[in-house]
Amino acid sequence: MVTLKDRSADCGAQGEPELILLLAMSRNGCIGVNNSLPWHLRDDLLNFKRLSSEHAIIMGRKTFDSIGRALPNRHNIVVSRQSGLDLEGCEVVDCVDRALESACAWSLEHEKRAYFVIGGADIYRQTIDRAEQMYLTVVDADVQGDAWFAFDDTAWQELARREFHQNDDNDWNFSILHLKRKTQ
Q: What tens digit of pLDDT does each residue of 81-117 get?
A: 998 899 999 999 999 999 999 999 999 999 999 999 9
Those residues of the chain that have pLDDT short of 70 are 1-15, 184
pLDDT for position 151: 95
pLDDT for position 93: 97
CA distance 9 to 104: 9
pLDDT for position 116: 98
Please tell me the pTM assigned to this model.
Answer: 0.92
Q: Who contacts 65 (Cβ-Cβ below 8 Å, separation ≥6)?
A: 35
pLDDT for position 14: 60
CA distance 123 to 79: 8
3-state secondary structure of 45: helix
pLDDT for position 3: 38
Residue type, 154: T
CA distance 73 to 109: 16
The answer to whether 10 touches 108, Cβ cutoff 8 Å, is yes
Class of domain 4-181: alpha beta
pLDDT for position 8: 45
